[in-house]
A and B are shown apart, each in its own frame.
Chain A
Amino acid sequence: MYDVAIIGCGITGTSIAYRLSKFKLKTVVIDKENDVAMGATRANSAIVHAGYDPVENSLMAKLNVKSVGMTYEICKKLSVPCKQIGSLVLAFSEEEAEHVQRLYERGVNNGVPGIKVLCFEEAKKIEPMISDEVKCALYAPSAGVINPWEYALALAETAAANGTEMLFSSEVTNISKTEKGYVITAGGKEIEAKTVINASGCGADKIHDMVLPHEFDITPNKGAYFLLDKSEGKRANCVVFQCPNKDGKGVLVSPTVHGNLIVGPNAVACDAEDTSATAEDLAFVRQKAVKSIPSVDFRANIRNFAGVRPNSTKNDFIIEANDGFIDVAGIKSPGLASAAAIAEYVEDMMRSGGVKLEPKASYTDERKQVRFKELSHEERAELVKQNPAYGRVICRCETVTEGEILDAIHRPIVPHTVDGIKRRCGAGLGRCQGGFCGPRVVEILARELGVGREKIEKDKTGSYIVRRRED
């Protein structure tokens, strides 16, 4: 019998798991996919939003603004790449200038620190490459960029180091109420838990309906992106938005925390599993982006992808408790930026619901990760002397060493796929997209996991890479 079962191992589920792992609770996180952060968390704009977008007094506004500082603090503790670089919302017309003014007022009301409206010249000083068509801009210095999947992995690994169990490749097919709590059927297993937390992203309505009367629908909506080479990474200094519209926050241009340039997204209603990027999606994003920064060179594109937002039929985050079943649903943007405060809110909700939250005598609240590329010459020399595996560069584009790949494999949550390695240490993230290092990562994974190379998959279960010649 678990005290808590969290369904969904994205940023919401892992934030809650991390938060609860300091208490004397027996917790399990259940996910239908084979790794952490396989849904909305792994494909989004990767932004820590400042909090001027959500309407006043909404739960979203409250949690977003509160969460920004918490996010930076957690990232520092857990060695997650994150940079506070500020954001701009550009206005291209009088009408949009009025909208920027409204966002400013909303930001002030929401308690966003340091927010101000800049005239074109002031905005151009911060962001020299913006279009001359810009009239004015909203500047929010507290916004930032983050690596969302490393964030979720760090939270999940820290929770796991504190005893939280992880159950992957286990789709929840039924939940039934018992006297003591709930029985969850997942991946052919029955899991009993006193409290169930529904953090299942695009599947949250189905999970809710297994327990409670139908109340909301998740209406998935996808957005496509370009990820450009580091040669384009200096095209923007901060997160450059356009005025939001009914479909979302509009197309942004932003440096990523790794120094690439990200451009996107559009917004199209879709199925929950549909992460395809169509030619129309990509053409739209391209055309919108050059409105903000005309000089973006799309020839430097290294990857396109699309992510699915778990939008819901309600306008706010849905965080509600009902007899030990807690919905944490509709966590669309700014869900990534709000996750830390969402977890705190859920903790408070559990406490007031009568769950005994007794702190553990000792628990881990730090995490170290070696990033060879970021070290000085002296530190690199010392590291290789201690462990020669750091002396072998496997991913040339991102300078990721075998030592870092071995570290990734031997951390608390073991990756089994090439993309799992990529998400943990960046091998294959660069301009050749794993063309060189892919076969080597397959070889290292197969060796460390003790299986044949033909058993190593790229990403989701079933995404085999190679076959033996004789098969």
Chain B
Amino acid sequence: MYELAVIGGGPAGLAAAYSAYQNGLRNIVILERDKELGGILNQCIHNGFGLHRFKEELSGPEYAHRFIDMLKDTSVEVRLDTMVIEVTPDKKIFINSPKGYECIEAQSVVLSMGCRERTRGAISIPGTRPSGVFTAGAAQRYLNMEGLMAGKRVVILGSGDIGLIMARRMTLEGAKVLACVELMPYSGGLTRNIVQCLNDFDIPLYLSHTVTEIRGDKRLEGITVMKVDENRRPIPGSEMEFDCDTLLLSVGLIPENELTREAGISMDPRTNGANVFENMETSVEGIFACGNAVHVHDLVDFVSAESERAGAAAADYVKNGAQKSDVIEFKNGNDVGYTVPQKMHRDTKAEKIDVFFRVRRVFGKSKVVVSSGDEEIAVFKKAFMVPGEMQHLVIPADKLKAYDTVTVTAQEV
């Protein structure tokens, strides 16, 4: 019987396992389906990781290795090439690996499976179905892990961060990136990536545009791009033709939660992740969740911080049992897409509550109001907010404990 089983050895799982170890657990296992730890960071060879966490600029693999190195001198067991097939609410975990198919048991579980990319099907792009249409992450894997190029003349649909990073990466590798096309009137990625990956390479960004046709019987031969109206419907007459052999899709990420759902854990339809408390515990006692499996982050630094809280909470659960207390709920007000956590324990042991959220539209100078009914609990000033950048509030726990529900609202000032 393990004290803690961590499902997924990416940045979230690594941080959770290390934090649980620091908080006194000794019998911890990380279950990782790939042949090495690090998760998606292994293919993110660009820099920009760790500015918050380590105060320096690291590449993805370097960032992962900071944590892998920290784990080296611990008793944390790592099982690679091991896929979790099922987790039960009583924390039996069925795993499959070339070493065998077995059931292991744990006192606590951290779900840190990360996320996956939305595909062509999710957005129903019309046309034929040739090769040459990739998710940006798949093209990134081919290039950075396997030294293979997805193509030579590239259009990128969606301005999520992976797409932007790949625009630069493909250009540096000799491909011609013809355009980045974004359905929304604003970019879905970090501002720094728009500047460093598109502007610096003179790659045009077409906002309020989308791909309306894919052509080619065998390999992609071309696409049609059209401008869209305020209801995101293509405007006839606005067609632009691109002669390209590759279309990369960077159209959003979906938390991976098949295990979570099958375990009967309560889900939040807004995040596609589990509903979590301030200590990252899910609706099932002793099962915690963190990282992109809970909500999609922009920066790995925040994944690590959140996962450290999950790991510490799992250790607390193993040593002291479940936290029994009534619940304060967080609600999202106008133009706030979701909040994480969705709820907190009234008698939480935390002094400060980290609340993350995303706005639904672009905000200029604005304020974020945390309130309950007519009562303002806290106000945070923001110079600007965009959907592509996750917002972070730190609220003293004591300020919240008197209320049953707390609402987070964004307002322009």
- Chain A positions near chain B (C-beta within 8 angstroms): 226-227, 273, 275-279, 281-282, 298-299, 301-305, 377, 380-381, 383-385, 388-389, 391-393, 396-397, 399, 401, 431-436, 438-439, 443, 453-454, 457-469, 471
Contacts and interface: CB of A to CB of B under 8 A. Distances in A.
Interface stretch (B21-29, B118-126, B312-320, B332-340): B118-126
A282 B124 contact: yes
Given A276-B128, A298-B124, A460-B218, 18 more contacts: A226-B124, A273-B217, A276-B126, A377-B94, A380-B96, A384-B96, A385-B100, A388-B98, A391-B97, A391-B98, A397-B258, A431-B116, A433-B121, A435-B119, A436-B116, A457-B131, A462-B219, A468-B149
Interface of B: 33, 81, 83, 85, 94, 96-103, 116-117, 119-122, 124-131, 135, 137-138, 141-143, 145-152, 173-174, 212-213, 215, 217-219, 234, 258
5 contacts: A301-B124, A380-B96, A399-B85, A439-B141, A458-B131
B128 A465 contact: no
A466 B149 contact: yes
A129 B49 CA distance: 48
Given A457-B131, A466-B150, A391 B121 contact: no
A466 B116 CA distance: 21
Given A384-B101, A391-B100, A435-B119, A462 B218 contact: yes
Contact of A304 (B121, B141, B173, B213): B121
Contacts, number: 144
A432 B119 contact: yes
The A contact surface, by secondary structure, is mixed
Contacts of B148: 453-454, 466-469
Contacts of A397: 258
Contacts of A464: 131, 219
Nearest to A459: B131
A279 B103 contact: no
A275 B215 CA distance: 11
B10 to A, nearest CB: 13
Contacts of B97: 384, 391-392
A446 to B, nearest CB: 10
A468 B128 contact: no
Contacts of B116: 431-432, 435-436
B33 A396 contact: yes
A378 to B, nearest CB: 9
B131 A439 contact: no
Nearest to A432: B116
A383 B85 CA distance: 15
A401 to B, nearest CB: 8
Which of A273, A281, A298, A459 has the most B CB atoms < 10 Å from its CB? A459
Nearest to A460: B218
Given A381-B102, A384-B100, A467 B149 contact: yes
Nearest to B147: A469
A471 B175 CA distance: 11
B212 A279 contact: yes
A380 to B, nearest CB: 4
A389 B120 CA distance: 31
B135 A435 contact: yes
B83 A463 contact: no
Contact of A302 (B85, B122, B126): B122
Nearest to A433: B119
Given A277-B126, A304-B121, A381-B102, A463 B141 contact: no
A52 to B, nearest CB: 33
A389 B98 contact: yes
B98 A392 contact: yes
Contact of B101 (A278, A301, A380): A380
A453 B149 CA distance: 11
Contact of B117 (A435, A459, A463): A435
Contact of B151 (A393, A443, A467): A467
A276 B129 CA distance: 7
